[in-house]
Amino acid sequence: MQELSPAYILFSNPYSLFPTACSILLRMSDPLLNTPGHLASPDKLVNLPRLLTAFYANHPDPENPAQRVSFGTSGHRGSSLASSFNYAHILAITQAIVEYRAKESTTGPLFLAMDTHALSEPAFTTALEVLAANGVTTFIDSACGQPGNALGYTPTPALSHAILTYNTGRSKDLADGIVITPSHNPPEDGGFKYNPTNGGPADTTATKWIQDRANELIAAKLQGVKRLSYAKALAAPTTQRHDYITAYVADLANVIDFAPLANTTLKLAVDPLGGAGVAYWPRIFDHYQLDVTVLNPYVDPTFRFMTLDWDGKIRMDCSSPFAMASMIKNKDLYDVAWACDTDHDRHGIVTRTAGLLNPNHYLSVCIQYLFTHRPEWSVKVGIGKTLVSSSIIDRVAKGLNRPLLEVPVGFKWFVDGLIDGSLGFVGEESAGATFLRRNGRVWTTDKDGLIPGLLAAEMTAVTGKDPGQFYADLTAKYGSPVYQRIDAAATKEEKSKLAKLSPSQVTAKDLAGEPITAILTEAPGNHAPIGGLKVTTENGWFAARPSGTEDVYKIYAESFLGETHLKQIQTEAKALVAKAIA
């Protein structure tokens, strides 16, 4: 990698330095190999030739629900090995998006982006084949300085930023985008998301239309899908290069205050986790003259450098203490360090004083800091949270005398408030967030994992307190919550009942020794169905939502009275839900 002064690159993971026999010996010497928080042995890594062969060789069965196109809150996801993310899926989804654009009279260019998962590049080339054949002007990355002018990787927030920047001042011929990523999912997975002209995640009306049309095309054996060869698509006049990285990096000073970081003595570090931002961080630090260590700046689609997550799988989940074990182990080397997931729309913050911060904790810290250090923001600007995020956010918002918008799970619910500037900060419990520019205008309408990391450095330089110390101050004032998500078994019928519950079906009056203050099946911020249930008391709450992929439902719970009270909430929540859906 090119040396960029004064940004210093540290290759801190010994396994990434020895890609041959030495690496294998180092790995095999670990007695906890293949356990959560430790590395995987080479035989446990994804078989890339098999994965890529399956992308083209396997064909989805349109009668098998597991192999159909299915857009969740984060687009369509699957694996070529399971015939749920294959060439046919991408051809059909892209053609469906082309037709959806025509239906919506979206006539501007389409920004196309991908992350570093192994399936992202074949999906990218496939999508471009369809877009070019349909005459859609498509902006692809201008290589980010990759050797041989290879296609570059683009973080999700850079795509959102590009769409919003292009559409500013325009009332017609607006741009939209596709980002190819399964987020922090395992290396064998692929993902495909559509972002309309507002730059944020598509709403359910759009995704259902695209999903249904794509499945029709697959069932019709792809009749109606237009495509060119990749070579012709790449050379087509409608395929144009766009410098995502320069536009995003140069604009960052309008959302982050870099002045306090000039000549700082703080020891700072970032780990891109082999994701789409690998080329962005050196450019950021060089552009703003920052001395920050970049850990493991490699792209390796096996992600062999990641420690295993809680279930023994590789995930680039920067909020997981298992996936982040290496950074936690080295927390004393830096005042503040941070990481991002594969498409860089999520963040994980590690401090010397607190280790890895719980995502909910850091959201509350960001809110407290931003609303006391952004003087150009209107006093009417509010805060957005999902209903399964911590209630300490509610208490911080009340302390700041700021309005709070509580919505169902899904970042799409925040888009309008970000665009009109009525929401200054928005976040969800899974470590996704974004916030306004320093002047109070929209930055991105999709999650941005880069700016929360940079904000952690800013607030530490400005206040002399790292985010862990900041959170300790908040808990001294508002109480110290304990929060956990667990799963409970449920049949498909039970999950269907849970998703359609009404408050009247819950007859309980108390929860874990406290009177129930609210029973919700709609989000209080916008009255949209939450697809489940939330029950609150003065010092605790739980929410139950059916899983979209497994025969379980998820129970999110929190207590301000300690671990014992939390366990009581969880136990009673299971009984309460079981009775309601019986």
Q: Where are the alpha helices (DSSP H) in 177-203?
A: none
Q: How many residues does the chain have?
A: 582
Annotated catalytic residue 160: no
CA dist., res. 582 & res. 579, Å (int): 5
Contact 69, 83 (CB under 8 A): no
Residues 271, 285: contact at Cβ < 8 Å? no
* Alpha carbon distance 387, 427 (integer Å): 11
Contact 546, 495 (CB under 8 A): yes
CA–CA separation, 84 vs 76, rounded Å?
9
Report the candidate in 301, 291, 296 with the shortest Cα–Cα distance to residue 278. 296
> How far is 471 from 461, CA to CA, in rounded Å?
16
The enclosing H or E element of 433 equals strand 432-435
Q: Pick the catalytic residue: 79, 183, 364, 559?
A: 183
Identify whether the C-beta of residue 110 lies closer than 8 Å to the C-beta of residue 139. yes
Question: If residue 242 lies in a helix (H) or strand (E), which one and from where to where?
Answer: strand 239-242
Distance CA 82, CA 26 (A): 32
In this structure, are residues 428 and 183 in contact, taking their beta carbons and an 8 Å threshold?
Answer: no
DSSP 3-state of 380: coil
DSSP codes of every residue in 97-124: HHHHHHHTT--S-EEEEE-SSTTHHHHH
Query: Taking each helix axis from N to C terminus, what angle separates 467-478 and 392-400, rounded to the nearest 10 degrees?
Result: 80
Let me know if 134 is exposed, middle or buried by CB neighbors in 10 A (0-12, 13-18, 19+): buried
Instruction: Give the CA distances from residue 551 to residues 269, 492, 493, 496, 578, in Å, rounded to whole numbers and listed in that order.
Output: 40, 6, 10, 11, 14
Class of residue 392 by CB neighbours under 10 A (exposed 0-12, middle 13-18, buried 19+)? buried
135 residue type, one letter? G
Which residues are within 8 A (CB) of 145 and not within 5 positions of it... i.e. 6 or more apart?
2, 152, 279
Q: With left for phi above 0 and alpha for psi between -120 and 50, is residue 37 left, alpha or beta?
A: left
Which residues carry out catalysis? 183
